[in-house]
């Protein structure tokens, strides 16, 4: 695993909310592998997996609290003695937010405020949180730059935009150094391969291997800036540890800076698996944006972010992970 920092982590303590989930478990694993003094994971195991925690249990610096960010008292306990918070816990998925808008708001907004206030009350040095490219909504401009956002297209997008506004206010009112990260289609090993809201890449791999129906929404020409999970780990670690005062109290695009269509993605997976399995096209999905591409220059400048693993390389690693899982 490549190292993305230069500081000694042995005297530092970290809280990773949602650390049993996809991105959170990769962040926690990086910190533990690189000698962090304490890595505490908070997760209610609704979207998290015990198999992800098994990787973390190998390290004596690992701690686990099972609980919900909607519990303010629990958030306060989780932040006790913590230097840096990486907030990854959320209810993801645009379709789920359309089905469950109140639940999405309670977790993503109410829970966010709870953990943010707990960080303030416990004198946490830095608060880094996951936002989403969904906040760009219907703004047609490409590439997406942090300054221009459109109207939100889903309750999920509203929840993430609201988090950004709360973070801005907490930075001003409580002097909390906060950094937000707008994720663009993060993919990689440990993504949820099952369930109603499974991610597209594991769904494609599973369907092609098992020769079961694979669905593409719309015409498949919609584009996404697919971003390998280790790039997301890199920017989270750099955001937590940066000494650049100008980096604080901003939001940053986290992406590869190049987009591919869903058809490109499907064909690349099918080619790698040496399959001729055809996809089934269906109606476009409500709340989805048509095209997505990030300008990552702000993160490159302020956080020294370098998306080292490009789409094709990350895709091969991801396919091989799920291929082993399904065979």
Distance of CA 194 to the CA centre of its chain: 18
Q: Where are the alpha helices (DSSP H) in the chain?
A: 22-33, 50-56, 72-79, 94-99, 101-105, 112-121, 155-173, 200-210, 229-241, 262-272, 297-303, 311-326
148 burial level (CB within 10 Å; 0-12, 13-18, 19+): exposed
Residue 191 in contact with residue 259, Cβ under 8 Å?
no
**Active site (annotated) includes residue 129:** no
Given 156, 187, 266, 305, the catalytic residue: 156
Instruction: Give whole-number Cα distances, 178 to 39, 173, 263, in Å.
Output: 19, 12, 37
DSSP symbol at 309: S
Instruction: Give whole-number Cα distances, 39 to 10, 42, 107, 141, 243, in Å.
Output: 11, 10, 22, 39, 21
Active-site residue set? 156
């Amino acid at each position: 695993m490549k190292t993305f920092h230069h500081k000694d982590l042995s005297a530092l303590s970290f809280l990773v909310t949602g650390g049993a989930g996809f991105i959170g478990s990769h962040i926690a694993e990086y910190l533990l592998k690189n000698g962090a003094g304490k890595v505490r994971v908070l997760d209610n195991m609704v979207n998290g997996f015990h198999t992800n925690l098994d990787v973390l249990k190998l390290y004596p610096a690992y701690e686990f609290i099972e609980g919900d960010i909607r519990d303010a008292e629990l958030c306060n306990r989780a932040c006790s003695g913590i230097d840096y918070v990486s907030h990854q816990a959320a209810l993801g998925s645009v379709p789920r937010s359309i089905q469950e808008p109140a639940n999405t708001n309670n977790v993503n907004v109410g829970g966010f405020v709870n953990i943010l206030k707990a960080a303030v009350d416990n004198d946490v040095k830095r608060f880094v949180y996951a936002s989403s490219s969904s906040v760009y909504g219907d703004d047609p401009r490409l590439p997406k730059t942090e300054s221009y956002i459109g109207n939100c297209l889903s309750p999920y997008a509203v929840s993430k935009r609201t988090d950004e506004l709360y973070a801005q206010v907490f930075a001003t009112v409580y002097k909390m150094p906060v950094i937000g990260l707008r994720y663009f289609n993060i993919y990689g090993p440990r993504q949820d391969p099952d369930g109603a809201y499974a991610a597209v890449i594991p769904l494609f791999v599973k369907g092609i291997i098992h020769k079961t129906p694979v669905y593409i929404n719309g015409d498949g020409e919609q584009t996404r800036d697919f971003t390998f999970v280790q790039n997301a780990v890199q920017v989270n670690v750099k955001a937590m540890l940066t000494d650049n005062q100008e980096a604080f109290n901003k939001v940053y695009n986290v992406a590869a800076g190049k987009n591919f269509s869903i058809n490109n993605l499907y064909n690349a997976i099918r080619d790698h698996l040496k399959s001729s399995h055809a996809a089934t096209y269906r109606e476009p999905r409500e709340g989805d944006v048509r095209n997505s591409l990030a300008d990552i220059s702000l993160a490159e400048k302020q956080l020294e972010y370098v998306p080292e693993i490009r789409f094709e390389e990350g895709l091969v690693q991801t396919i091989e992970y799920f291929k082993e899982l399904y065979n």
